[in-house]
Amino acid sequence: MFERSAHLFIDFEFTMPEGKNNPIGFFPEIIEVGWILVKDDKVIDQYTSYVKPEAFPVLTSRCRKFLNINNAHVNQGISFEELVILLKKVNSEKPAIVTWGNNDMKVLSQNCQNHGFKMPLTGKQIDLSIEYKRFFGDKNQTGLWKAVQQYGNAGNGKQHRALDDAINTYHIFRLVEQDKRYLDNHESTTIGDIIDFSTLLNELK
């Protein structure tokens, strides 16, 4: 299925402001992480945790409602520094980083800059939503759970839960790779495949 290399399917959930206008100094902070690490088409590591926000520790009502996360959840989470340490360990496998959309890596990079850390994930970044869009020729990018449903699946777990979204990203990746291989190996249909010429000639006699 995969090339002989590691792939890290990862998802983050972030804080969000109450309204459209961000408060002074606001930036989205990671408050939940979920990933699965796959090597040679086998899951070799899986992890999920809440992450404590530091710059804006009190979650807005919009954030709580949208993500179904409250301060009691995130206050029990790991610190951002601990998250960076864990990601550095995963990075030792030199995985390609697979996300649905590009916001996850952007927010991780911004959080690292604001906390004075180097980016812990250094592998090739794959935005699967773009790959999906190109493969199916869609004009617009498709949401993860819509893509899952388009493949005839109700989805694993709950939407906007980091580990569930990471697992669903992995499932979509596998399905798209299967379809790519099928199209690459499938011979083009000829007119001879469509029409039985021997039957046609008998009918003309």
The range of the structural domain enclosing residue 80 comes to 6-185
Residue 20 lies in a domain: yes
Alpha helix positions (H), 33-161: 61-67, 71-74, 80-91, 103-115, 128-136, 144-150
197: enclosing H helix or E strand: helix 197-204
Mean pLDDT of 162-177: 92
pTM for this prediction: 0.84
Contact (CB, 8 A) for 135 and 179? yes
* Domains: count for the chain: 1
CATH code at 41?
A: 3.30.420.10
Alpha carbons 83 and 94: distance in angstroms, whole number: 17
Of residues 93, 115, 131, 160, which has the active-site annotation? Answer: 160
Residue 166 lies in a domain: yes
Residue 205 lies in a domain: no
Residue 102 lies in a domain: yes
Residue 191 lies in a domain: no
Q: Active site includes 160?
A: yes
Name every residue whose Cβ is closer than 8 Å to that of residue 55 and which is 6 or more positions away in sequence: 25, 26, 27, 29, 114
Express each pLDDT in 77-107 by its tens digit.
999 999 999 999 999 999 999 999 999 999 9
Diameter of the chain by CA atoms? 86
Residue 43 lies in a domain: yes
Express each pLDDT in 114-159 by its tens digit.
999 999 999 999 999 998 888 877 767 788 888 888 776 656 678 8
Higher pLDDT, 93 or 183: 93
Express each pLDDT in 24-75 by its tens digit.
889 999 999 999 999 988 999 999 999 999 999 999 999 999 999 999 999 9
